[in-house]
Chain A
Amino acid sequence: MKGKNARHLKTAILYFLMIVCTIVAFAPILWMTVSAFKPEGEILSYPPQWVPLEPTWANFAYVLKNFNFLRWTFNSVVAAVVATIIVIFIDSMAAFAFAKMKFKGNAVLYAVVLSMLMVPIQVTIVPLYLMFSSVKLLNTIPALILPTAGNVTGVFILTNFFKSVPRDLMDAAIVDGAGSFRIWWSIMLPLARPSISAVAIITFMSNWTNFLWPLVSVSSDASRTLPVGVAQFFGGQSGVSGSAPQYGPAMAAALMATIPAIAIFLFLQRYFVKGIMMTGIKG
């Protein structure tokens, strides 16, 4: 009887901890959402209220009217989508060659690619800046896309996957007269769909959230991406100093920048998790 009570108590504690974790994780997101709908007077009222008394769209209207928000969103979406498509094509081609073809230098080239996993992206920023500046591509969308195309993780994940594809499948296709491109396109790519989804999500998210390079490569407001745009709202060195921070519009902007990512995450949760495991396991 006592054992049963102890077990009930343990279960109750575990549930309590789970609820605490959920609340702590979600509260800031909820607080951002609630604040975004509060009129200016209400947001600085004390004590803070979790429900807006007079919910309003004014903050959203303010952001859209006074900032190039839609333009930033457009830039971010285009850059992330195009970069993802490029990465899937060129990485899966290279990975197919690395995993399934015999050629001189295979191991060496692959080792050179993987060695870049050790080199942090920061060391490339100054040379990239000089390069894009010399070809007059700073402040353009290609500047936001191209550096992502040189990524390493995608090739790594897809090579590992293609290595696991049985040789027989390819041999059968060769017998049927399929060339390398046919094999890549109609056998390898469909087989790799789960891995490609994971690579797509990783690439999309890393481009979507990338900050340092877009901050450096883009100085005109019209070419900004969302992360850089949102950073301008207020803050240490980037904000308009001296003026009181406008939390309402900032939260509205933050919410608008967050909703697409959370929506994608909720729909594609499975692939997010898979992507993380694949990148995590690389060690």
Chain B
Amino acid sequence: MTQIIIHLKVGEVMNGKKQHYRIIPYIFLIPYFFAFITFRFGPSIAGFFVSLTRWNIVGQAKFVGFQNFIDLFEDPNFIKSLTNTLYFMLLTVPALVIGGLLIAMLVDQKLRGRYVTRTFVFMPYVIMSTVVGVIWMWIFDTHFGILNYYLSFFGIKPIAWLSSINWAMPAVAIATIWWTIGFNMILFLAGLQDIPNELKEAARIDGASSWQVFWNVTFPLLSPTTIVVVMLTLINTFQVFAQVYVMTGGGPAMATLTVVQYMYVQSFQYYRLGYGSAIAYIVFIFLVGLILVERSILKKSGDIN
């Protein structure tokens, strides 16, 4: 009886305030949408139109269609920044994903002190990117750096980490792995803890070795997490900028020039706004491409199941 009355009343209130009700949602949305349209959505669309122009900040914008994009792929510096970024990803992504998983599996064991290790491995992630750059410049210093000092124990001669064409990118990669691996560890840890222990136990009772349990039980069940981690890592590493800006400035001889950094240089050092925006849109195209690949992989694995 009370149930019915309540429902009637709710209905009444809803109907009675029908007009009212139609406006209220928009009132709730207006503050956010003002910010969203002005600072996120609008600029994202505007960026595309800027990318279709030749525009040096002082002069008039001149519509050039897709000329900037055509020019980009004939610009050896842009190609260099693209291959550099892919090289950086090659150095970091496997380490970040596999390393993150291994550390997560390690601190998922019932060992004393696992919480301490989790905290310390994650801690670098809260440090700001430029500080990470500054810390590692000191560590990588050729003559006084602590890394070369310890390497000398193994008979390795001092490496000019940040000023050598061969070592600058690996150095930036090392700093980045140290900085962000804790993030992947947390994601994997959450995924691992979602897997019911009974499944692993059952496999063990059936005589499976630790390796078989991992490969046949843990890893397949972890795949949703793995996909998320791989995607986020690819997206974040493609956008590498601050570490490079601080540690090498893109040098030596453009050995560490990355895509986002080239966008920054073109837009805000040469003030070629149209060209810079076109580079930014390449980052967007990369992201869309990644997501399409992810979707198709997900669809395929769905078909199999």
Residues in chain A within 8 A of chain B (CB atoms): 11, 14-15, 17-18, 21-22, 24-26, 28-29, 31-32, 35, 43-44, 46-48, 86, 89-91, 93-94, 96-98, 101-104, 106, 109, 112-113, 116, 118-120, 122-131, 146-147, 149-152, 155, 171-172, 174-175, 180, 184, 205, 208-209, 211-212, 215-216, 226-228, 230-231, 233-238, 245, 247, 250-251, 253-254, 257-258, 261-262, 264-266, 269, 272-273, 276-277, 280-281, 283
Interface members, chain B 1-41 (any A CB < 8 Å): 6, 9-10, 13-14, 21-22, 24-26, 28-29, 31-33, 35-41
Set of chain B residues within 8 Å of A89, measured between Cβ atoms: 31
The answer to whether B32 touches A101 (Cβ under 8 A) is: no
Report if B117 contacts A (CB, 8 A): yes
Q: A155 CA to B40 CA in the complex, in Å?
A: 13
Q: A208 CA to B111 CA in the complex, in Å?
A: 35
The answer to whether B50 touches A127 (Cβ under 8 A) is: yes
Report if B249 contacts A (CB, 8 A): yes
Set of chain B residues within 8 Å of A228, measured between Cβ atoms: 130
The digit string for B129-151, where 1 denotes a CB below 8 A from any CB of A, is 11101111111010110100100
Beyond known contacts A127-B47, A212-B264, A233-B134: 9 more, CB 8 A cutoff: A112-B41, A116-B41, A123-B48, A184-B28, A205-B126, A215-B264, A236-B245, A238-B249, A247-B141
Set of chain A residues within 8 Å of B42, measured between Cβ atoms: 127
Q: A90 CA to B35 CA in the complex, in Å?
A: 9
Assuming the contacts A29-B124, A90-B32, A180-B24, asked whether A14 and B135 have C-beta atoms less than 8 A apart, the reply is no
Least distance between A204 CB and chain B CB atoms (Å): 11
The answer to whether B31 touches A93 (Cβ under 8 A) is: yes
Residue ID in chain B nearest A266 by CB atoms? B119
Dominant secondary structure of chain B at its interface with chain A: helix
Q: A104 CA to B21 CA in the complex, in Å?
A: 11
The answer to whether A175 touches B284 (Cβ under 8 A) is: no
The answer to whether A211 touches B130 (Cβ under 8 A) is: yes
Interface members, chain B 21-71 (any A CB < 8 Å): 21-22, 24-26, 28-29, 31-33, 35-44, 46-48, 50
The answer to whether A123 touches B283 (Cβ under 8 A) is: yes
The answer to whether B130 touches A230 (Cβ under 8 A) is: yes
Set of chain B residues within 8 Å of A231, measured between Cβ atoms: 130, 133-134, 242, 245-246
Set of chain B residues within 8 Å of A149, measured between Cβ atoms: 35, 39
Set of chain B residues within 8 Å of A212, measured between Cβ atoms: 241-242, 260, 264
The answer to whether A209 touches B283 (Cβ under 8 A) is: no
Among B76-84, B201-209, B214-222, B224-232, the stretch in contact with A: B224-232
5 nearest A-B residue pairs (beta carbon): A236-B249, A150-B40, A150-B39, A94-B32, A237-B249
Least distance between A1 CB and chain B CB atoms (Å): 20
Least distance between B227 CB and chain A CB atoms (Å): 7
Assuming the contacts A123-B277, A155-B32, A258-B127, asked whether A35 and B137 have C-beta atoms less than 8 A apart, the reply is no
8 A-B contacts, Cβ less than 8 Å apart?
A97-B25, A122-B284, A235-B249, A251-B135, A262-B127, A265-B122, A273-B190, A277-B186
Which of these, A17, A120, A125, A250, contacts B267 with CB under 8 Å? Answer: A125
Set of chain B residues within 8 Å of A14, measured between Cβ atoms: 106, 109, 111
Report if B167 contacts A (CB, 8 A): no
Set of chain B residues within 8 Å of A150, measured between Cβ atoms: 35-41
Which of these, B25, B32, B178, contacts A106 with CB under 8 Å? Answer: B25
Assuming the contacts A113-B36, A146-B39, asked whether A250 and B111 have C-beta atoms less than 8 A apart, the reply is no
Assuming the contacts A118-B288, A155-B32, asked whether A25 and B123 have C-beta atoms less than 8 A apart, the reply is yes
Residue ID in chain B nearest A230 by CB atoms? B130
The digit string for B247-282, where 1 denotes a CB below 8 A from any CB of A, is 111110000000010011001100001001100110
Q: A1 CA to B32 CA in the complex, in Å?
A: 66
Least distance between B33 CB and chain A CB atoms (Å): 7
Residue ID in chain B nearest A208 by CB atoms? B128
Assuming the contacts A21-B103, A227-B129, A257-B131, asked whether A280 and B284 have C-beta atoms less than 8 A apart, the reply is no
Q: A172 CA to B118 CA in the complex, in Å?
A: 43
Least distance between B47 CB and chain A CB atoms (Å): 4
Set of chain B residues within 8 Å of A283, measured between Cβ atoms: 227-228, 231, 294
The answer to whether B25 touches A101 (Cβ under 8 A) is: yes
Assuming the contacts A103-B26, A146-B35, asked whether A31 and B50 have C-beta atoms less than 8 A apart, the reply is no
The answer to whether A236 touches B248 (Cβ under 8 A) is: yes
The answer to whether B283 touches A18 (Cβ under 8 A) is: no
Least distance between B81 CB and chain A CB atoms (Å): 13
The answer to whether A93 touches B227 (Cβ under 8 A) is: no
Q: A17 CA to B264 CA in the complex, in Å?
A: 41
Assuming the contacts A46-B144, A48-B144, A127-B47, asked whether A257 and B128 have C-beta atoms less than 8 A apart, the reply is yes
The answer to whether A126 touches B277 (Cβ under 8 A) is: yes
Set of chain B residues within 8 Å of A22, measured between Cβ atoms: 116-117, 120-121
The answer to whether B123 touches A26 (Cβ under 8 A) is: yes
Least distance between A128 CB and chain B CB atoms (Å): 5
Assuming the contacts A126-B277, A155-B32, A280-B187, asked whether A116 and B144 have C-beta atoms less than 8 A apart, the reply is no
Q: A112 CA to B29 CA in the complex, in Å?
A: 13
Set of chain A residues within 8 Å of B10, measured between Cβ atoms: 171, 174-175
* Central interface residue in A97, A155, A262, by most chain B CB within 10 Å: A97
Q: A140 CA to B31 CA in the complex, in Å?
A: 22
